[in-house]
Structure 1
Amino acid sequence: MLIPGLLQTEDYARAVFTGHCPPLGDEAVDQQVEARLSRQKLLDNVPMVELFFAIGESAVIDPIGGRDVMRVQLEQLLTLRTQRNLEIQVMPSGQGFHPGLNGAFVVLETAEHQHAAYLESQGVGTVVGDPDTVSGLCLRYGKLRSQPLNVEESARLIDRLAGEAAT
């Protein structure tokens, strides 16, 4: 439903936290935005971490924060996609059911090849270590990787939408 936090621009993140329900105070919004932006340092870690993002089409269409904020956000996605360790794919609307519709999830593999998952919904995040649950999420992840537009098709869509937001 939203651009993933690790990929958000400051203005997009601010729009997300400003729209929080119940409303957050200005200081809390500032703290949340700062925390979100500081986590983006993970994108440049050495050794590099392989990252894949499947983003629903509605997240790249809905003008969160307004057209200008969304245009800059889309341009940010196009810039980020040039990183060797990062892939962004868009799941087109109208596909019917796919494994991402039950909600966002993150599958992690440690340097020791241990797997875990992270689930977040409505501002509540949970780390999952149960092997059966993590295995099920890994299966969903594998299936989810095969269903969105490929990386180049996704970039063309994002580029077209950024151009439309500029006009």
Structure 2
Amino acid sequence: MAENDGDEWDGQGVEDDSSAVMRAVSRQIRLWREAAGMTQVELGSAIGYGEEMVSAVERGKRLASAEFLDNADPVLGAGGKISAMKEDVKQARYPKKVRDLAKLEAKAVERGAYGDHNIDGLLQTEEYARALYAMRRPAFSEEEIDRYVAGRVGRQEIFERRPAPMMTFVQEEVTLRRPIGGTMVHRRQLEHLLEIAQLRHVVIQVMPTACEEHAGMGGHFQVLKLQSGEAVGHWESQVGNRLVWDPKQVQVLEMRYGIIRSQALTPRESLALIEKVLAET
């Protein structure tokens, strides 16, 4: 399995601004609890969580969920001040580099992506994404896995954006056949691809393994065309990912992607292949 999985720039173990948000939220919850004269056990019992979870939140080891904040607010008499932190917590839940990518995607009118080792992040089911992150080496903690999965699933809101950006994907045939997460996760992922492909602003193509001519041997990348008229590339390797803003380099990626699409199966042929692989799974 490749070290990068198609979405986020390398930043494992690097603290970002979300850590400051976590500390601030944790401190506020602890201060409100102490002011209310409640123990962690009492607060947990009152809002439906165990003492261990309350302790983890107050120590900044776990990020409070929206439900946690909403339930704690009236119990602690915060008058909406704790609930008001939900938006900050929502943003902090995603690693900064995932948030940065999502911001670019939010400005995109077109996105083209070539994937060579696993299903593109925007097309992944939550189960598939979780299985990928669980295989990451060095290993992520459960909290890190939760965070990255939440970030990936959150980015998929782009499919419901209006006006809808045009999105095209070219997936290597091997990414359809590799049973990430086991048979049932694999089947649900293939079914999800067929569902997403029905959206009018989404085109999924497959690059067959038997194809002799291939312009994408350099690996996974994507090209985003922004509302401003700018284009930006996103390229990754084993040891890190980077954005490509230089127009000449972006042109190279655009050229390669155009050739890749021409070499791949047509959308109709691609869906037929996905259906075939699903029937064999």
TM range, smaller chain? over 0.9
- The Cα of 1:90 is off from its aligned counterpart by 0.5
Distance 1:60 1:120 in 2: 20
- The Cα of 1:131 is off from its aligned counterpart by 1.1
Distance 1:76 1:101 in 2: 26
Partner-residue secondary structure (3-state), 1:146: helix
Q: Provide the residue aligned with 2:222 in structure 1.
A: 106
- The Cα of 1:122 is off from its aligned counterpart by 3.3
- 1:60 paired with 2:176, answer yes
Structure 2 unmatched runs, 5+: 1-116
Distance 1:42 1:153 in 2: 26
TM-score, normalised to structure 1, is 0.95
Partner-residue secondary structure (3-state), 2:222: strand
Q: Alpha carbon RMSD of aligned pairs, Å? A: 1.2
TM-score, normalised to structure 2, is 0.57
Partner-residue secondary structure (3-state), 2:251: helix
Structure 1 unmatched runs, 5+: none
Q: Provide the residue aligned with 2:166 in structure 1.
A: 50
Deviations 1:6-65 (A, max 9, x none): 000011001100000111111111111111000011122111100110000000001011
- The Cα of 1:123 is off from its aligned counterpart by 6.7
Evaluate the alpha carbon distance shift between residue 36 and residue 122 of structure 1 in structure 2; reply closer, same or farther with a 3 A threshold: farther
Large movers: runs of 4+ above 2 Å:
120-125
Q: Provide the residue aligned with 1:9 in structure 2.
A: 125
Choose 1 or 2 for highest CA Rg. Answer: 2
Higher relative contact order (CA 8 A, sep 6+): 1
Fraction of identical pairs, as percent: 39
| Contact 2:205-2:265 at 8 Å conserved across structures | yes
- The Cα of 1:108 is off from its aligned counterpart by 1.2
- 1:38 paired with 2:154, answer yes
Amino acid in structure 1 at the alignment position of 2:166: E
Evaluate the alpha carbon distance shift between residue 123 and residue 3 of structure 1 in structure 2; reply closer, same or farther with a 3 A threshold: farther
